[in-house]
Structure 1
Amino acid sequence: MNTSSLALATAAAGSSSSRRSSCWKYDVFLSFRGEDTRTRFTDHLSIALRSAGITTVIDYKLKKGENIQREIDRQIEGSRIAVVVFSKSYAESRWCLRELSMIMRCREDQEGKVVYPIFYDVDPSKVRKQSGSIGEAFQKHERDEDPNEVEQWRKDLKASADLVGRNLETTADRREGEFIQKVVGDINGLLKTSDLKEVKHSVGIAYRVEEFSTKYLDVGGSHDVQIIGIWGMGGIGKTTLARTIYSTYRHSFHGQCYLEEVRSKKKNMVSLQEQFLRDILKRPDIKISSVAEGTKEIEKRLGSMKVLIVVDDINDADQLDELAIEHDSFGPGSRIILIARDEQVLNIQKVEKKYKAQTMTDEEALELLSWHAFGNHCPDKEYIELARGVVDYCGGLPLALKVVGRLLATKKSKSIWKSTLDKLRNIPHGKIHETLRLSYDGLSDDHVKGVFLDISHFFINWYGTHVMAILDSCSGFCVESEIKTIQDRCLLDFDSPKFRMHDLIRDMGREIVRAECAMEPGKRSRLWHHVDVTSVLRDESGTEAIRGLTLVLPEKSDEHPFRTKAFKKMRHLKFLQLNYVKLTGRYRHLSKELRVLLWQGFPLEVIPKDFDLRNLLLIDLSNSKLVRVWVDSDQLPKKLKFLYLDHSRNLTQLPDLSKLPHLESLGLNSCKSVSEGYHLLAQLKMLEYLDLRDCNITDDAIVASLRSLSSLCSLLLDGNGFHRLPILSGLSQLTSLYLNHCTSLEAIPGLPTSLHTLEANYCTELEIMPKLPEMSQMMDLRMKDCRKLKDIPNLDNFLCNMRTLHMEGCTSLTATFKENILLKWRGDVIGGLSLSVNDIPRRLCYVAREDGTVEIEVPTTFDYIGGLAVCIIYSSDNSDCTGSLCIHVVNRTQRTRFHIWPMETTVTASHECYLWLGNLTNKKLNLKGGDRVRVLADFTGTEDNHQIKVKKTGVGIVEREFVASDLIDVDYKLVPYESDEDTDEVQPCKRFKVI
């Protein structure tokens, strides 16, 4: 039972108005098993509570008589908090169990009643599960007592054990005196609980509170004043987390204040300052005449006090200045928590640490939805698939899960669930929309808002380089600052090369545009919905207001062609997507302002001459019927930067590429019929990306052209038939080279020093690799199933730089080569080393066999712990078997459990042994000296008859820092930990979608 989650008990202190409120006569009622604790622990606890001024009642103070049960019931009803001391023989007593049932009934009926369990020499999981001595006691009760009453005792015992309290086993090193002081502090905190809103169904909050308190809050640690930020999108649970933290730790400070909804009180700063001082100083008579006076009073009066302050929902750094939120304004050990949607507000202040609020996992989201929709922790059986659809729609956003759950709670039929969800996908719920829109409304000007609306409609999952170039062209100036502003407000995620946006943020943007003219879509600025777009094109009702339009039809659509005249009035159209759409008429009607043309399945053999392409930056005509691209004219796209003609199988010749001097990306994947024009590639001096996969390229077709591409960064040549590559060492900008499935390739003669990534998997004839050049920057090398390859000269000199080396299935590698690799491999973070090897390196001293669990006690002698090195040997009885490696790390001392997915693999030969060796960073695991840790590896996502089996597992402790620890995206998932009993066998896990 985790004490950092104490606020879950605190939440019970304020309940719904429908429950009967009480006028408390006592603070605490003590329930306990007399034979176990009466004269020892409970007596000491009772004295400590009274010494702290807490009115406490205990049953041995009662006078003997016939009405003792009635008197106890009266005392339970009259006590604000019921403290239940669970001990080994607690459940043996019918008296204790009946008393507990009375306590739990009062908890249900009385507003503000709190039940606080203490586990004294008994494991909480044994109480919850009624195992061990608890289970034996119930077996006796079932023989001797009323079965209905026994069943109620079981329910009450489990429900009370699920509440948050304290466990002697895991607190204060079992020192009872210190343990009692902590309990007294908890009770004081509960009695002093402020009128914060109740946290109902606080799914997953315990783990977030624990993470925040351990890594960020540091209560009782540093005496420095610390300012900590919590930021994230609206509705993600920032306030819920902050309230729980505040309620949990407020009693550890001399003064406390929680300032709510500061954004909305911006014009009434004096009253906010008055509340600030009154709450902390406990002086209701404080009056302030001006903002300047208030700021000075805060600085003067609070400078020596240890305070806990939460400032919730700020959007202007000036508000913090007026509240004197500075390190010098408060006493040693103070903690100030700032909550904002905009990270930039936190950057302005001297914030030591910033916590980005995270969306819920799929499991958490399903449980939260279930509480609100079904009043239970899981959905009704027949609604499970529908509930998962709602979880997918809500995207882990707690606000959305609560709102939609309540909306569906009164809907009984599955058809109403489906129709409601369909409606929400088109028109977001008002409360969700308005909450999310606050971040949009806070954007500084219409131009920034326009950039956000463009991205939400058209550019999600696009590469950032493409989007920036397009928006720069549309604006006439660089939009980098606007993109950063949108990102800081949590409206855009740009952590990867692609722009990503939460689905509900996207829907909010689209609803803003829909509302521009709800009844006449042709007058809106952006069109994306199928029905609206087809209506506008059929009716030819488009106007010059339209900035972007997208219509995606299935490949074999029976939709009748639209007339090009439908676009005649759309003079300001800049973004156009018409996948598998057919048009009739003259193409001169399409806008001359177009910057983006996406037309997969383009139906013509050549782009019409009257189609004005002059301002286009990006053209994607993949899967087209093009035979040639365009006819020479003055309207060619001379500004073009990105051209994609992938899977245009009828294309026979490339266009005159000399007419495209600014081209940066060219995609020709699977253009198998192209036989002319490759020599024109040499004209593309600015080309950075070239995709020639599966193009039937032979040895001499493009040799000279490739050598001339001085700006080339990425070259994709997978699936071609050449035997040798040209010497590419002169391409000084090349960082990525892909040669997978080039099954005729025999030799790679030369590589540039700039290369970071080389993939040559399944090159089954490859025998010769070049000696890696000095100053090589190679980080990722993947050469799986190159079965003729014997070694890679000079590779062992660069292993210290590498993150990933996959050479499993390379069965001809020399023993010396493999020994050198295993000896020198460092591998910063999980990227991993994979070889065809059948034993664990000797330096990993903790080893288990046959799916076994490795047990470690981290030595206390290490100066630095960088993490764990993990190695597995695996194989399968079947070939062509795919699975995801999952590593389970259970820290029994810190009571944490991680599931970690470092890689996916495909076994191509049955009974062949493979080795994988990688590192787990301690920035996630947080291992400390003395920790007892268990590690288990298994594979998920495999069918029963194609199971990949772990034959051996080896683990070692790494005493160095992983310099690339933030560069590789590996899924570390913190999952619930209940008790040591639950870790005796670490169960294989199911991998859920990561949001």
Structure 2
Amino acid sequence: MASTSSSAAITASPTVNYDIFLSFRGEDTRHTFTDHLNDKLNRQGISTFRDNEEISRGDELKPEIEKAIKASKGSIVVLSENYATSTWCLEELWKQQKNFKLEVKTSSKWTDDNVKRWREALTRIADLKGDQVSGSEVAFLEKIVDDIYHNKVARKLVDLPRHLTGMNARHEEISSWLEPSDIKVLVIFGMAGSGKTTLANYIVSLNSQYFECTSIVKVMGSISTQDNQHELLRKFVADLLGEGKGKWFDRYTIDRALKMKKALIVFDDIGEPNELEYFLGTGDINKQSKIIITTSRNNTHNWLQTRSWSCKEYNMQLLNNDEALELFSLHAFGFKIPKEGYEELAKEVLQYCQGIPVALEVLGSSLSEDVSIRHWKSTLESLEKDMHDRIHSVLIVSYNSLPNNLTRELFLHIACFFVGEDKDYVEQILDNDYSAPSGIKILTNRCLLFVSPNNKICFTITHFFSMLNFQPSDILTTDSLKKMDILKLLKLKDVHLTGNYKDFSEDLRWLCWHQFRFPTIPSSLFQGNLVAIDMSCSNLELFEPPIVLQSLKTLNLQGSKSLSAIRSIYRLPNIETLILRDCDKLVHVCESIGGLLNLVVLNMERCTSLHWCLNRPIRITNAILGRGSAQQTSFSLPHSLVWLFLSDCVLTNQGNDHPFLQFSGQPNLQYLDLSGACFQFLPSYNHLKTLRVLELSWCVLLKWLLDLPTSLAELYVYSCSSLERITFKSHRFTLKEFGYGGCNNLLEIEGFIKLVPIAKLVETDLRHMAWLKNYQYHEVSLVGDDELTLYRTKQIQMLYEFGITSTSLPDIKDPNMIYEYSSESPSVCFRVPSCPENKRLIGLNVSFKYTKSGDDDPAWFVKIRTNNGVDYMYNPHVFGRPRKGKVGIWLSFWPIGSKLTTGDEVNVSIIVMSEIMEAKECGASFVYVEDDETMEINMPWVETLGGDLSAFQLSTGANYLCRRDFFKVMEVGRLTRGWLSILVGHTIDDREVRGWRKTGRPNTSFNPSQVESSSPSLTELQDSPIDLTRTESSHPSRTDSSFNPSQTESSRPSLTKLPGSSSTESKKF
């Protein structure tokens, strides 16, 4: 008898219904040995599948038997005298992919294919170690069943909570790691209490039967003493070799066991690399073994580099709202949803717990002891003042693990004052006292905080950590602050302090006092060591530094509605950032501002009452001048400008010499914001060799943008309702990000698309399609995947893209619609004929008819392939949506004549991957011209069918001509997950077609941090704690997925991310 384990991929599959599949020869052992074996297995709780029907020799394998084989974890093959004579048994062996010897007579009716696979199956069975029945059958069966139960079927007993909400979803995300591959290690990292240990144990519970042994080592600092080290190592060896072999061992024994055994090992809560080395020694383990590491560090991949191990890292995500509500409800009420009347209180708990499983479990169990609403409210109120002991005991572990008191203090300062602030801003304030850059790196590596892509410092559970050491006082007075003689950071809001300020700490480095109530800053307040002052929305009427403030680098007075004057600003010689946004009563700024040589950021947006008194240029890197300010200023902009914001200024075309449009004196500009201005055109910016970002949204009179510089990486023209045309100096589309929702009249984006009404084209433009002029006033509703064409009803348009000319028509009847080759199906195949005399083949017309239901955009491609290597698949950026119940026609011309030769076999097919669209028939015809006739393409760009398409070429050589991201369509459920395989087969990695296809973009993408040292990065400017630009309510965001041009100014159109752009979150401007 041979017993085998399943050869299926090592994943927990819901289709596994049986522990053991019994394969046997019925006439030999059905009512004897196999019957006894089956009974013993069932008594042990091992589920089995066996077929009780006699099968005629030579019959085909039943589908339900084949399904049972696949649904079993393992199999037992009972070899008897006549086993190998049964084709049924042999087919079972082959299906199991386990494998002896088969001799076949020449006159056999079996096919060569049958014989080949049966011989392979039997050969593999012969290689397995089996058990031979001898002596007592009862004792033999008991031994076999006991071995199967303990070594093959029984799951590893692991410590799991009663409710495993969210674990299955997270297991599915990483289950592919368990399949055979070179990736040996899974690192699950995250904050304390996030469920890392539970997930690791859950993986073991589902998959232990696929390994020879499993071991869960709970490290958690336990190897700090020699006794603890020895005990953990003893348990580890016992798990690998068996309980009896864990008493005496040495390093050689451990290394040998790791090499021999196919093991699933968990090292729980590893904090240092030496802890891993202690258990793994040389690191030479069985190639089929898998290791799971849970840790609060996010840099563990560095630990494995010396072992040349590849690892998969998984950032343990906290529970989402639905999961959190379910877990809490299970503990609090005993079922998955809150009890009626407790919904709002449950929401408060979720907000407090912020998705932390341990917090949800503890509070749910605690509140279940008394379900009165009064008790719940009282408990929730107390939690705002003090943390539950069990939650505290979990979270304090991460805090206590920090290497020194300095790092702990830095952590508390950030948790209490600087969550959501710009990292560079925080480092500027805390560096001198707390070595902030290195400290923040330590905190990030310990998963106690993270820095977002826009450089903000973020905590997942801020209010928990702010309660770890202390509670802030409810009442602050000057007397109480007097006692804080080493106070360095002070944050107040709408607080009125009476008394003398002279005894404030001279160590104060950061003063954040929102809604400051005094008209001036008290002169007795010592400000000599302040690095930053933030007095947003204050009642200040005058700002005048009492002394020279050498250390001050940031001053934020935005929203101070009473502020009328800023004086003696020369006393801020090292100021870098000055924010005066929305100070609408400000009428005077000291002219000495021109002498501030270190000024980097100046934000004066919506300073509508300002009268400038400046006689010389300011040496600044950023200037933001508010609505109306442009007409009141008389100074010239400095040559050193890199970032220039003139949003909502009254800018009009006043000739080419208009200073705010030419920017001839600012050759280093990288960011230019002219949004909301009133002009019809812009001069050429080719002299701006370093311009990267151009913001022109809501310039409603702007008609065209011509010869944009090749350096431009980002362009935003949201709601430029008059804009018709955009061209580039290089004649190539090289943008990495492009936002253009609400541009209802935009017809041409050079190198991208050109969309022209046929009524505006002459017959010479249309050439062989000139007959379309007869239908130029027919209307078609245009659709696409972006805001340019979404549900715009237009007269019939001609689209030029990739050199392909196409249009969408209603179901017209015209003799020109009769094709040489046609089919009622969505594909047609034909050969290239000999070219007529004095004619030259220039291309191919392709057309098909279709119907569409629903409002969603369907996914479809036209594929043209030949037997000599031509391979195109094309999805047009724009096409027509026929009316409900009507038929639409898509007509196109492909200029591929030079690639076709007589006799080539051409296959044209329409691939539809959405149920809402049906292709009914298609046709194709060759297009010829006279030998001496030329035919110019309306889009003479590099990326055409006759030009360089390398940026669109897949690894198979096929050209994927598409600028839509169908994976986004798939993610919202409008496209089947198998769409790519339908289109290109199984040989293409989906990463090749994710996002928009590259279109000749620069090899090196623009990095906003690579600007001059005197200027902040794009992230620093746009996402700093001080908002330098406009409010969200007055400017379109680039993050939403939809946009309606009819919306008001507060609408939020989507940002189009183009190939080569970074994967960071979209930046708000």
TM-score tier by shorter-chain length is 0.5 to 0.7
By how many angstroms is 1:871 displaced?
Answer: 7.7
Match of 2:156 in 1: 194
Match of 2:189 in 1: 231
Match of 2:1063 in 1: 966
Instruction: Evaluate the alpha carbon distance shift between residue 49 and residue 646 of structure 1 in structure 2; reply closer, same or farther with a 3 A threshold.
Output: farther
Matches within 5 A, 1:209-358: 209-214=171-176, 217-219=177-179, 221-222=180-181, 224=182, 226-267=184-225, 268-287=228-247, 293-294=250-251, 296-324=252-280, 328-350=283-305, 351-358=310-317
Matched, 1:797 2:731: yes
Given that residues 501 and 522 in structure 2 are in contact (C-alpha distance below 8 angstroms), is that contact kept between their aligned partners in structure 1?
no
- Whole-Å Cα distance in 2 between the matches of residues 865 and 424 of structure 1? 63
Amino acid at match of 1:781: L
By how many angstroms is 1:599 displaced?
Answer: 1.2
By how many angstroms is 1:279 displaced?
Answer: 0.3
Matched, 1:627 2:564: yes
- Whole-Å Cα distance in 1 between the matches of residues 786 and 327 of structure 2? 37
Aligned length: 744
- Whole-Å Cα distance in 2 between the matches of residues 303 and 863 of structure 1? 51
- Whole-Å Cα distance in 1 between the matches of residues 13 and 238 of structure 2? 24
Match of 1:850 in 2: 854
Given that residues 718 and 742 in structure 1 are in contact (C-alpha distance below 8 angstroms), is that contact kept between their aligned partners in structure 2?
yes
By how many angstroms is 1:941 displaced?
Answer: 9.7
Matches within 5 A, 1:675-686: 675-677=611-613, 682-685=617-620
- Whole-Å Cα distance in 2 between the matches of residues 455 and 5 of structure 1? 42
Instruction: Evaluate the alpha carbon distance shift between residue 52 and residue 208 of structure 1 in structure 2; reply closer, same or farther with a 3 A threshold.
Output: farther
Matched, 1:786 2:705: no
Given that residues 228 and 354 in structure 1 are in contact (C-alpha distance below 8 angstroms), is that contact kept between their aligned partners in structure 2?
yes
Please give the per-residue CA displacement for 1:564-621, whole angstroms capped at 9, x wherever unaligned. 5257242322222211132599432345322221112332322355366332222211
Match of 1:489 in 2: 446
By how many angstroms is 1:441 displaced?
Answer: 2.0
Please give the per-residue CA displacement for 1:848-876, whole angstroms capped at 9, x wherever unaligned. 543358578999x999999999989999x
Please give the per-residue CA displacement for 1:385-424, whole angstroms capped at 9, x wherever unaligned. 3222322222222222222222322342334434433432
Say which of 503, 511, 529 aligns to 2:467.
Answer: 511
Instruction: Evaluate the alpha carbon distance shift between residue 420 and residue 306 of structure 1 in structure 2; reply closer, same or farther with a 3 A threshold.
Output: same
Instruction: Evaluate the alpha carbon distance shift between residue 395 and residue 494 of structure 1 in structure 2; reply closer, same or farther with a 3 A threshold.
Output: same
Instruction: Evaluate the alpha carbon distance shift between residue 818 and residue 608 of structure 1 in structure 2; reply closer, same or farther with a 3 A threshold.
Output: closer
Given that residues 542 and 567 in structure 1 are in contact (C-alpha distance below 8 angstroms), is that contact kept between their aligned partners in structure 2?
no
Unmatched tracts of structure 2, length 5 or more: 1-7, 51-62, 76-90, 99-144, 757-783, 809-847, 883-912, 916-961, 986-993, 995-1039, 1049-1057
Amino acid at match of 1:352: C
Say which of 426, 430, 446 aligns to 1:467.
Answer: 426
Match of 2:743 in 1: 809
- Whole-Å Cα distance in 1 between the matches of residues 165 and 248 of structure 2? 41
- Whole-Å Cα distance in 1 between the matches of residues 963 and 208 of structure 2? 48
Matched, 1:55 2:41: yes
Most deviating of 920-929 and 599-608: 920-929
Match of 2:700 in 1: 764
Match of 2:661 in 1: 726
Match of 2:437 in 1: 480
Please give the per-residue CA displacement for 1:498-537, whole angstroms capped at 9, x wherever unaligned. 3233342x224322341xxx6xxxxxxxxxx5x53x3344
Most deviating of 235-244 and 420-429: 420-429
Matches within 5 A, 1:653-664: 653-655=588-590, 656-664=592-600
- Whole-Å Cα distance in 2 between the matches of residues 166 and 737 of structure 1? 66
Given that residues 545 and 570 in structure 1 are in contact (C-alpha distance below 8 angstroms), is that contact kept between their aligned partners in structure 2?
yes
Instruction: Evaluate the alpha carbon distance shift between residue 310 and residue 379 of structure 1 in structure 2; reply closer, same or farther with a 3 A threshold.
Output: same
What's the % identity of the aligned pairs?
Answer: 21
Match of 1:498 in 2: 455
Amino acid at match of 1:202: L
Instruction: Evaluate the alpha carbon distance shift between residue 52 and residue 537 of structure 1 in structure 2; reply closer, same or farther with a 3 A threshold.
Output: farther
Match of 1:552 in 2: 493
Matched, 1:645 2:631: no
Query: Secondary structure at 2:565's aligned position in 1?
Result: coil
- Whole-Å Cα distance in 2 between the matches of residues 399 and 431 of structure 1? 9
Structure with greater proportional helix content: 1
By how many angstroms is 1:232 displaced?
Answer: 1.1
Match of 1:535 in 2: 476
Please give the per-residue CA displacement for 1:659-714, whole angstroms capped at 9, x wherever unaligned. 4322222222211111214665x3324x2x4332435323x836721xx2525235
Query: Secondary structure at 2:398's aligned position in 1?
Result: helix
- Whole-Å Cα distance in 2 between the matches of residues 863 and 365 of structure 1? 54
Most deviating of 717-726 and 668-677: 717-726
Instruction: Evaluate the alpha carbon distance shift between residue 676 and residue 225 of structure 1 in structure 2; reply closer, same or farther with a 3 A threshold.
Output: closer
Please give the per-residue CA displacement for 1:150-171, whole angstroms capped at 9, x wherever unaligned. xxxxxxxxxxxxxxx9996999
Query: Secondary structure at 2:329's aligned position in 1?
Result: helix
Matched, 1:386 2:345: yes
Query: Secondary structure at 1:792's aligned position in 2?
Result: strand
- Whole-Å Cα distance in 1 between the matches of residues 528 and 490 of structure 2? 15
Given that residues 796 and 820 in structure 1 are in contact (C-alpha distance below 8 angstroms), is that contact kept between their aligned partners in structure 2?
no
Query: Secondary structure at 1:673's aligned position in 2?
Result: coil
Given that residues 419 and 459 in structure 2 are in contact (C-alpha distance below 8 angstroms), is that contact kept between their aligned partners in structure 1?
no
- Whole-Å Cα distance in 1 between the matches of residues 859 and 877 of structure 2? 12
By how many angstroms is 1:259 displaced?
Answer: 0.7
Matches within 5 A, 1:82-101: none
Structure showing greater Rg: 2
By how many angstroms is 1:922 displaced?
Answer: 12
Given that residues 203 and 368 in structure 1 are in contact (C-alpha distance below 8 angstroms), is that contact kept between their aligned partners in structure 2?
yes
Query: Secondary structure at 2:725's aligned position in 1?
Result: coil
Match of 2:529 in 1: 593
- Whole-Å Cα distance in 1 between the matches of residues 40 and 583 of structure 2? 80
Say which of 569, 577, 591 aligns to 2:512.
Answer: 577
Given that residues 588 and 611 in structure 1 are in contact (C-alpha distance below 8 angstroms), is that contact kept between their aligned partners in structure 2?
no
By how many angstroms is 1:488 displaced?
Answer: 1.0
Given that residues 312 and 338 in structure 1 are in contact (C-alpha distance below 8 angstroms), is that contact kept between their aligned partners in structure 2?
yes
Instruction: Evaluate the alpha carbon distance shift between residue 234 and residue 926 of structure 1 in structure 2; reply closer, same or farther with a 3 A threshold.
Output: farther
Given that residues 156 and 204 in structure 2 are in contact (C-alpha distance below 8 angstroms), is that contact kept between their aligned partners in structure 1?
no
- Whole-Å Cα distance in 2 between the matches of residues 47 and 637 of structure 1? 96
Given that residues 321 and 355 in structure 2 are in contact (C-alpha distance below 8 angstroms), is that contact kept between their aligned partners in structure 1?
yes
Match of 1:135 in 2: none
What RMSD over aligned residues (CA atoms) do the two structures have, in Å?
A: 5.3
- Whole-Å Cα distance in 1 between the matches of residues 72 and 807 of structure 2? 35
By how many angstroms is 1:744 displaced?
Answer: 4.6
Instruction: Evaluate the alpha carbon distance shift between residue 176 and residue 657 of structure 1 in structure 2; reply closer, same or farther with a 3 A threshold.
Output: farther
- Whole-Å Cα distance in 2 between the matches of residues 701 and 270 of structure 1? 78
Given that residues 867 and 927 in structure 1 are in contact (C-alpha distance below 8 angstroms), is that contact kept between their aligned partners in structure 2?
no
Instruction: Evaluate the alpha carbon distance shift between residue 368 and residue 678 of structure 1 in structure 2; reply closer, same or farther with a 3 A threshold.
Output: farther
- Whole-Å Cα distance in 1 between the matches of residues 1061 and 74 of structure 2? 36
- Whole-Å Cα distance in 1 between the matches of residues 702 and 535 of structure 2? 39
By how many angstroms is 1:276 displaced?
Answer: 1.2
Amino acid at match of 1:484: K
Instruction: Evaluate the alpha carbon distance shift between residue 666 and residue 170 of structure 1 in structure 2; reply closer, same or farther with a 3 A threshold.
Output: farther
Match of 2:318 in 1: 359
Matched, 1:670 2:606: yes
Match of 2:967 in 1: 920
Given that residues 231 and 342 in structure 1 are in contact (C-alpha distance below 8 angstroms), is that contact kept between their aligned partners in structure 2?
yes
- Whole-Å Cα distance in 1 between the matches of residues 35 and 668 of structure 2? 72
TM-score (norm 2): 0.60
Say which of 588, 613, 633 aligns to 1:701.
Answer: 633
- Whole-Å Cα distance in 1 between the matches of residues 36 and 399 of structure 2? 54
Match of 2:1009 in 1: none
- Whole-Å Cα distance in 2 between the matches of residues 574 and 564 of structure 1? 21
Amino acid at match of 1:628: A
Instruction: Evaluate the alpha carbon distance shift between residue 920 and residue 397 of structure 1 in structure 2; reply closer, same or farther with a 3 A threshold.
Output: same
